[in-house]
A and B are shown apart, each in its own frame.
Chain A
């Protein structure tokens, strides 16, 4: 018993050396060399200024920008406290909230028909930090953004088109648009 306990202690320390130090060190070195931002979250810049992390969604409220999905992370897109609604499919209170979001969406996008409102755009992700929206949700907002910027709708749609990310190898998974990158592309188009 005692000798087994003593073995356990020494073995645990040996495992600490092997995993918590050696294994971590190998990956850390690899991250420093090969990671996109030497081991930290990858960043997005606009005119040499950092404007966000590429993989972390942000809160957008202005009409000149594309908006992301609703978020339950903190007060919305709080990247230090990720979280979702965890509401079940039959929760009446939650369904009422969705109705509200649909109405709000239609107020801001009066040209949209109710049956074309993308459901993913009024439901929240689990992380609350979803950096993407579906292409459909982006095209739905194009006219509003164009009007707010005083641009033609075609110009905005062209920018959206160039920001649609295809499925992996064109075969696997979903099509999506990174909202932050899309909005940065819009701002770049303004300055040029």
Chain B
């Protein structure tokens, strides 16, 4: 909890950047909303959404960019892996993974305030967004949102640590960006994807970051199934992360970094 508060404060030093990010997210939200409106006007009720659902989805996905760190990065350790300082972190008694997770939750909380609320408010003012009335939906959405951040962390943590083995990690970074961006639902809602592509996309971890929390908000998905899906991926990625951390530690101890 203290570490999360520290992560929150650490990120509050980038306030100008966060506000600029919110501005950019809002502009893109407006542009994408128009495209989706054109699509849904031609095909009302497509994929079980009406126009208001589609526009809400669009602005929610923009709001998720900051907290879910859709464009990658956000972790202090990736810089420390690059400089080799991670060796010091790995031999500390505290768990590097849990420490990073707490820090990342603080970061997400801060970016939720600065980068998620503004696009949503502007979107609501310009287009009118769907607002759930049932308080239970809000509670489920909150849980789904937090799980989304954890899945996102689990994935980015693996990417960051991969630099321990891969010397030039820019390739991995850009591959991760492509997968996250396309298969989270950022480009278009995943339920528009045709046939098998849609089935596969819905099962991959990235859908837990944008598509699933948005559907929980819109009430388009069985809540328990959705939260279960996210939890399963969160646990799987965190376990994998723990294994990778352990072998990274062994590598540092044996090879001296």
Do these two chains interact?
no
Instruction: Show the binding face of A for B, using Cβ within 8 Å.
Output: none
